[in-house]
């Protein structure tokens, strides 16, 4: 749609080799002005086959973007059938509504996209016409590096349709930001040329222009989709209505040489295999190397795509792989890749290219205001809830801003309202007037207002009007440049526009355009992994966690997002089972509850919802997790809240999430790689060594209890190792004897028991670590808040008295947690060699 296409870093690096080849293979484009006299004849012959395409862009990414009559997109197309079938780029028409096609002779037709294939960036547009001039396609074998070519298209502006640029074929088989090979040309290709024809001097189409590399100091670097790929896609459109692509079910990774554009000596590495796929069924495994598909060698992803496109789903092919030191041949029956179907829709306003045809007024139905809508008024930025909106004149003569502030007093006096407007201007420095020229309260029937006119430096003039209405302050501010302000005719038109502002909205008036974006207070959030969802507007994002956490206004409810890569062979069910076991290992049955996983659909793929609750003994915390896998990434959305808050509000939150969760592959950060799920690697029983040189002991501590680098703290008198709901603590004394420590602990335990009937303990003299004398205390505290059990050991070795405390809340006293705590204490060793 006239977008200026650029490349990923990978594409930029790949271009290094392309630049070298261009300098060796073809002359510099300076000869273009001297091309032979055949060019005009070729253009005259071919131009009738090239059309200009214009329409209205459509995107749900920002609800505040206005679909005004000047917000248009354009591109180019090539006629392939005389009855009005036109090929163009998929990116031209993918998000385009109310398409209009203009032929080279100026005839206008309404059109619509019938087929879209984003993988090849090709699409078909149909218009109701007959007797058109279809283009003639060249044979790919006839395309030569260095031959003269011309690009016909609609660059920059729709007024420049059927513009011609001339150059040469700079290179073939380019692997640049595309699934398939591309033609490189130095014929100028600019925004709007997309979808147009690249022709040879026989008047034949050799490619469909698709992109230009744009950067400072880089010129004449454009690319086109070769005719072979165009014919392949058109044939599939004709036979199947879509491109039927084979599916193997694996993720492939290029070698370093292939990434930077060097000839690769190795094949493609298998980075991931879908466990339920043709590749898995044929025994292809992670880290295998692709050598060939049929007779085609494959060393890059483009090689792979070019080779696989020769086959149809259901066909059986031979794939040669290298597995370890062995080269193997695998027979694979191809599946079919699933792709999202694109459906054509018209705007609610109808099929007109002018989105605002018949609209003479504009307003906001939620905030209840309206005013005149001149043809040149263009909506700019609008806040998420629509309480602030700006307009500009299409010719740049003026700008207008309307703001609505709720919870205001209707009892402000005229003087107070005028002062309020001045203070608001000063707070918003960008809209402040340096010199006040006029200040008055206008007693207009039905709509009285405060008015201030001021000079804004040397730039222009600002008129601000303030209206109080039903507890809200409506501020209308007009900025006019100095030259236009002094034009009496224009000044009258500006005042007429301001005078038309009304504190009412007539929803039965068909000439009134509603720009309200208020959606019940929801805000859309999107992250780098392509995940987006809506939350109530009173929720806020937790910046300290990198934007992965969100909270409601009183912080009682929280949402967290987790994104990791799906490891080869992992499944949704296996992933959720691991999470269930982890939860069950963390809480005792009495203190937890968990429902069976519920099947649902999120982002167009199968998902599971896991609902759970837990407590440490006082209040219950509840929540649910939404799990799904899409585009090789695992997504989990965790929502937690106090159990007593369950009700309609949380049900509405769940409905909002399940209805709005989406994953857009195009909006993912292009530099994303493999993100390991740490839970898959973590061994909960793995231990690290803590050594205290000064007090001569070591412990083997579970790695999951604390961050491993915390064990670098040396020779602490007291060391505590925490886990959820408990801890192991070791203290050491050199100045207090064993007997003194036992005496002090006896007194402390008896005092606690005397003061609280819920606190009980037993004590006994035991032997530890063989025949070491020790005192053991077992405490049980049945508190109404958080009941727990505690075991204290006091012992002495080498004139050092030790106190070890093992504490665990009843809520987390599972067999797993208790065994882990006991094992950690039992790992205690003295550095002098005394065996435990």
Cα(355)–Cα(55) distance, rounded to whole angstroms? 10
Tens digit of each residue's pLDDT (9 = 90 or more) over 669-692: 877 888 888 888 888 889 999 999
Provide the token pair at 580: 């269930």
Cα(596)–Cα(608) distance, rounded to whole angstroms? 10
- The CA distances from residue 518 to 196, 511, 523, in Å, are 40, 21, 10
Mean per-residue pLDDT, 276-300: 84
Q: Is the pLDDT of residue 606 over 70?
A: yes
**What confidence score (pLDDT) does residue 352 get?**
63
**What confidence score (pLDDT) does residue 760 get?**
93
Q: Which of 753, 708, 732 is nearest to 805 (CA)?
A: 732
Q: Is the pLDDT of residue 473 over 50?
A: yes
Provide the token pair at 722: 């925490």
Cα(143)–Cα(120) distance, rounded to whole angstroms? 20
Q: Which residues in the chain are classed under CATH 2.30.42.10?
A: 246-336
Cα(254)–Cα(176) distance, rounded to whole angstroms? 14
Mean per-residue pLDDT, 59-83: 71
Percent of the chain with pLDDT over 70: 84
Q: Which of 232, 408, 384, 219 is nearest to 308 (CA)?
A: 232
Task: State which fold the 687-830 domain adopts.
Answer: Protein Transport Mog1p; Chain A (3.40.1000)
Tens digit of each residue's pLDDT (9 = 90 or more) over 154-201: 776 666 667 788 888 887 766 666 678 788 887 777 777 788 888 888
Among 92-106, 210-224, 652-666, whose mean pLDDT is lowest?
210-224
Which pLDDT band holds residue 554 (cuts at 50, 70, 90)? confident
Residue with tokens 């003194």: 740
**What confidence score (pLDDT) does residue 181 get?**
79
**What confidence score (pLDDT) does residue 658 get?**
92
Q: Which residues in the chain are classed under CATH 2.40.10.120?
A: 9-240
Mean per-residue pLDDT, 694-711: 78
Cα(257)–Cα(279) distance, rounded to whole angstroms? 25
Cα(322)–Cα(290) distance, rounded to whole angstroms? 6
Which pLDDT band holds residue 377 (cuts at 50, 70, 90)? confident
Between 24 and 418, the higher pLDDT residue = 418
Among 49-53, 133-137, 806-810, 832-836, whose mean pLDDT is lowest?
832-836
Cα(645)–Cα(556) distance, rounded to whole angstroms? 9
Does this model's pTM top 0.85? My answer is no
Q: Is the pLDDT of residue 598 over 90?
A: yes
Percent of the chain with pLDDT over 90: 35
Provide the token pair at 467: 């209206």
Tens digit of each residue's pLDDT (9 = 90 or more) over 799-834: 999 999 999 999 999 999 999 999 999 999 998 754
**What confidence score (pLDDT) does residue 233 get?**
92
Task: State which fold the 246-336 domain adopts.
Answer: Pdz3 Domain (2.30.42)
Which pLDDT band holds residue 10 (cuts at 50, 70, 90)? very low
Mean per-residue pLDDT, 23-38: 48
**What confidence score (pLDDT) does residue 31 get?**
45
**What confidence score (pLDDT) does residue 433 get?**
55
**What confidence score (pLDDT) does residue 699 get?**
93
Q: Is the pLDDT of residue 239 over 60?
A: yes
Q: Which residues in the chain are classed under CATH 3.40.1000.10?
A: 361-507, 522-677, 687-830
**What confidence score (pLDDT) does residue 670 get?**
75
Cα(821)–Cα(826) distance, rounded to whole angstroms? 9
Which pLDDT band holds residue 355 (cuts at 50, 70, 90)? low
**What confidence score (pLDDT) does residue 1 get?**
43
Mean per-residue pLDDT, 221-241: 89
Which pLDDT band holds residue 470 (cuts at 50, 70, 90)? confident
Cα(806)–Cα(718) distance, rounded to whole angstroms? 14
Domain 361-507 coded CATH 3.40.1000.10: yes
**Residue 434 near residue 456 (C-beta atoms within 8 A):** yes
Residue 544 CA neighbour count, 13 Å, CB half: 1
Provide the token pair at 570: 């992992």
Q: Is the pLDDT of residue 500 over 60?
A: yes
**What confidence score (pLDDT) does residue 319 get?**
87
Among 7-16, 245-254, 527-536, 594-603, whose mean pLDDT is lowest?
7-16
Q: Is the pLDDT of residue 637 over 90?
A: yes
Cα(376)–Cα(459) distance, rounded to whole angstroms? 22
**What confidence score (pLDDT) does residue 679 get?**
85
**What confidence score (pLDDT) does residue 231 get?**
92
Count the neighbouring beta carbons within 10 Å of the beta carbon of residue 354: 16
Bridge partners, residue 592, by sequence: 614
**What confidence score (pLDDT) does residue 597 get?**
95
In which region does residue 159 sit, left (phi positive, over 0), alpha (psi from -120 to 50) or beta (all else)?
A: alpha
**What confidence score (pLDDT) does residue 28 get?**
42
CA angle 540, 546, 551 (to 5 degrees): 25
**What confidence score (pLDDT) does residue 362 get?**
93
Among 69-78, 570-579, 803-812, whose mean pLDDT is lowest?
69-78
**What confidence score (pLDDT) does residue 573 get?**
94
Between 495 and 356, the higher pLDDT residue = 495
**What confidence score (pLDDT) does residue 13 get?**
35
Among 27-41, 162-176, 551-565, whose mean pLDDT is lowest?
27-41
Mean pLDDT estimate for the chain: 82
Q: Is the pLDDT of residue 698 over 90?
A: yes
Which pLDDT band holds residue 713 (cuts at 50, 70, 90)? low
The angle, 0 to 180 degrees and rounded to 10, between the axes of the packed helices 815-826 and 572-586 is: 70
CATH class for the region spanning 9-240? mainly beta
Q: Which of 128, 139, 138, 121 is nearest to 99 (CA)?
A: 128
Provide the token pair at 311: 């086959």
Cα(315)–Cα(629) distance, rounded to whole angstroms? 28
The residues that are catalytic are: 91, 121, 194
Which pLDDT band holds residue 584 (cuts at 50, 70, 90)? very high
Grouping H, G, I as helix, E, B as strand and the rest as coil, residue 12 is helix
CATH node for 522-677: 3.40.1000.10
Tens digit of each residue's pLDDT (9 = 90 or more) over 412-438: 888 988 888 877 655 554 455 568 889
CA angle 16, 20, 23 (to 5 degrees): 140
**What confidence score (pLDDT) does residue 152 get?**
85
Mean per-residue pLDDT, 383-404: 88
Which pLDDT band holds residue 338 (cuts at 50, 70, 90)? confident
Mean per-residue pLDDT, 344-371: 75
Between 770 and 214, the higher pLDDT residue = 770
**What confidence score (pLDDT) does residue 78 get?**
93
**What confidence score (pLDDT) does residue 479 get?**
92
């Amino acid at each position: 749609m006239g977008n200026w296409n650029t490349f990923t870093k990978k594409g930029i690096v790949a271009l290094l080799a392309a630049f070298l080849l261009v300098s060796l293979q073809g002359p510099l484009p300076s000869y273009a002005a001297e091309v032979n006299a055949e060019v005009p004849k070729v253009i005259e012959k071919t131009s009738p086959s090239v059309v200009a395409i214009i329409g209205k862009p459509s995107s749900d990414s920002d609800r505040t973007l206005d679909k005004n009559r000047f917000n248009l997109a354009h591109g180019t197309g090539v006629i392939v059938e005389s009855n009005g079938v036109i090929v163009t780029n998929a990116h031209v028409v993918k998000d385009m509504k109310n398409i209009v096609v203009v032929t080279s002779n100026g005839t206008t037709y309404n059109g619509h996209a019938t087929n879209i294939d984003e993988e090849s960036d090709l699409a078909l547009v149909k218009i109701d016409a007959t007797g058109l001039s279809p283009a003639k396609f060249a044979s790919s074998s006839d395309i030569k590096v260095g031959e003269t070519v011309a690009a016909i298209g609609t660059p920059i502006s729709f007024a420049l349709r059927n513009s011609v640029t001339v150059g040469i074929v700079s290179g073939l088989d380019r692997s640049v930001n595309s699934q398939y090979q591309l033609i490189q040309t130095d014929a100028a290709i600019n925004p709007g040329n997309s979808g147009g024809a690249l022709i040879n001097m026989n008047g034949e189409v050799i490619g469909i222009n698709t992109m230009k590399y744009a950067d400072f100091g880089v010129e004449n670097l454009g690319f086109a989709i070769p005719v072979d790929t165009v014919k392949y896609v058109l044939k599939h459109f004709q036979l199947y209505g879509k491109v039927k692509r084979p599916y193997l079910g694996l993720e492939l990774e290029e070698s370093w040489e292939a990434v930077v554009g060097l000839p690769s000596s190795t094949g493609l590495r298998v980075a991931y295999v879908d466990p339920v796929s043709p590749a898995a069924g044929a025994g292809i495994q992670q880290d295998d190397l692709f050598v060939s598909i049929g007779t085609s060698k494959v060393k890059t992803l483009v090689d792979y795509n070019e080779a696989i496109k020769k086959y149809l789903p259901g066909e059986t092919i031979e794939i040669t792989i290298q597995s370890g030191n062995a080269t193997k041949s695998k027979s694979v029956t191809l599946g079919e890749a699933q792709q999202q179907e694109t459906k054509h829709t018209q705007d609610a306003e109808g099929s007109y290219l002018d989105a605002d045809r018949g609209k003479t007024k504009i307003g906001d139905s939620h905030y209840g205001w309206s005013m005149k809508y001149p043809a040149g008024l263009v909506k700019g930025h609008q806040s998420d809830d629509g309480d602030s909106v700006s307009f500009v004149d299409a010719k740049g003569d003026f700008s207008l801003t309307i703001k609505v502030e709720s919870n205001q007093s209707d009892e402000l006096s005229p003087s107070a309202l005028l002062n309020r407007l001045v203070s608001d201007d000063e707070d918003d420095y960008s809209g402040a007037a340096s010199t006040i020229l006029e200040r008055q309260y206008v007693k207009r029937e039905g709509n009285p207002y405060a008015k201030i006119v001021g000079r804004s430096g040397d730039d222009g003039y600002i008129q601000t009007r303030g209206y109080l209405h039903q507890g809200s302050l409506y501020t209308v501010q007009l900025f006019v440049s100095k030259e236009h302000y002094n034009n009496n005719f224009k000044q009258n038109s500006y005042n007429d526009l301001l005078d038309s502002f009304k504190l009412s909205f007539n929803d039965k008036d068909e000439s009134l355009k509603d720009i309200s974006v208020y959606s019940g207070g929801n805000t859309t959030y999107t992250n780098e992994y392509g995940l987006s969802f809506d939350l109530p507007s009173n929720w806020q994002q937790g910046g300290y966690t990198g934007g992965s956490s969100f909270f409601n206004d009183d912080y009682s409810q929280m949402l967290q997002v987790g994104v990791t890569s799906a490891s080869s062979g992992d499944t949704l069910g296996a992933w959720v089972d691991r999470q269930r076991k982890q939860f069950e290992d963390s809480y005792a049955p009495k203190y937890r509850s968990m429902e069976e996983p519920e099947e649902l659909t999120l982002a167009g793929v199968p998902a599971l919802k896991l609902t759970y609750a837990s407590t440490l003994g006082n209040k219950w915390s509840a929540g649910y997790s939404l799990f799904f896998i899409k585009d090789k990434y695992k997504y989990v959305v965790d929502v937690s809240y106090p159990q007593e808050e369950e009700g309609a509000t949380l049900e509405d939150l769940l409905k909002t999430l399940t209805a709005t969760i989406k994953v857009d592959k195009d909006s993912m950060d292009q530099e994303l790689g493999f993100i390991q799920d740490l839970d898959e690697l973590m061994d909960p029983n793995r231990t690290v060594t803590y050594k205290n040189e000064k007090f001569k002991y070591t412990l083997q501590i579970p790695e999951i209890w604390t961050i491993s680098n915390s064990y670098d703290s040396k020779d602490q008198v007291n060391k505590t190792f925490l886990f959820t709901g408990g801890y192991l603590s070791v203290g050491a004394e050199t100045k207090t004897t064993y007997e003194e420590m036992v005496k002090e602990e006896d007194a402390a335990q008896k005092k606690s028991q005397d003061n609280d009937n819920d606190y009980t303990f037993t004590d006994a003299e035991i032997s530890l670590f063989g025949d070491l004398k020790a005192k053991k205390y077992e405490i049980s505290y049945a508190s109404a808040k958080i009941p727990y059990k505690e075991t204290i050991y006091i012992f002495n070795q080498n004139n050092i008295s030790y106190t070890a405390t093992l504490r665990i809340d009843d809520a987390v006293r599972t067999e797993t947690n208790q065994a882990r705590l006991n094992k950690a204490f039992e790992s205690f060793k003295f550095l002098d060699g005394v065996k435990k």
